[in-house]
Amino acid sequence: MSDIILKGGKDGFSVIFSDLANYDSAFKELKELIMQQNVKSTNENDDVISFTIKTGNRLLTDEQKQKITEFFEKYPQLELKDIESNVEAKNVVEELLDKNKTNVESGIVRSGQKLDYNGDLIFLGTLHRDAQICATGSIYVLGQVDGVIQAGYPDNTNAIIFGNLKDVDQIRIADVVEIVTDDNKSDFDNGKFAFIDDLHAISVDDLQNYKDRMNDLRKRTG
């Protein structure tokens, strides 16, 4: 039984590794297959033949991927488009979960302190003046805040800040800063949310318009 399967398509060939195959045997078979294809493509005027390696539920190591890449580089008429797998490396999954998790903070953040969070943040605590909370995702304020709130750190322009923000020193989303003063603090009452608009500035709108704003944002970002 073959350790790999070759399938053709309009975008080139797919080489499918059997989940149960020994990697060394499969790689040897791959090399034989590639060399056969190279013999058929010796004319420099021939079109480049593209290959995608699909490993299914098998996760290749970086070293194994590098060996495959280096082997293809020996044959200029053959192109390795990608190495695809149905599974992700443990560190990639952990990073993704960390990025998308929701944190809950109910403590007191005192003046001079700064707390950082990966993912979204529900803030139930008290943020003193000159203190700061910072999240890579959105922030939902249900507590008392008087300091600095930053969502979308460092460059997540899709992040949102919800809640009663009229007493904060300033809010930040990604790299955009809005200072809250006596002149504009009424804009940040409860029942509002802050977001980055099409002009890359912080705007505030009523929560009842949140769905429409998010639809506009999805269209903007594709």
Residues of the chain with pLDDT under 70: 1, 38-46, 87-100, 217-222
pTM, whole model, 2 decimals?
Answer: 0.57
pLDDT for 176 equals 96
With contact defined as beta carbons under 8 Å apart, do 171 and 195 qualify? no
For residues 115 and 83, membership in a common domain is answered with: no
**Does 92 fall in a domain?**
no
pLDDT for 139 equals 93
For residues 214 and 108, membership in a common domain is answered with: yes
For residues 42 and 121, membership in a common domain is answered with: no
Domain that holds residue 73: 4-87
For residues 55 and 153, membership in a common domain is answered with: no
For residues 77 and 142, membership in a common domain is answered with: no
pLDDT for 195 equals 93
**Does 146 fall in a domain?**
yes
pLDDT for 192 equals 83
pLDDT for 222 equals 56
**Does 110 fall in a domain?**
yes
For residues 116 and 208, membership in a common domain is answered with: yes
For residues 65 and 109, membership in a common domain is answered with: no
For residues 128 and 77, membership in a common domain is answered with: no
**Does 94 fall in a domain?**
no
HEC readout, the chain? CCCEEEEEECCEEEEEECCCCCHHHHHHHHHHHHHHHHHHCCCCCCCCEEEEEECCCCCCCHHHHHHHHHHHCCCCCEEEEEEECCCCCHHHHHHHHHHHCEEEECCEECCCCEEEECCEEEECCEECCCCEEEECCCEEECCEECCEEEECCCCCCCCCEEECCCCCCEEEECCEEEECCCCCHHHHCCCEEEEECCCCCEEEEEHHHHHHHHHHHHHHHC
**Does 142 fall in a domain?**
yes
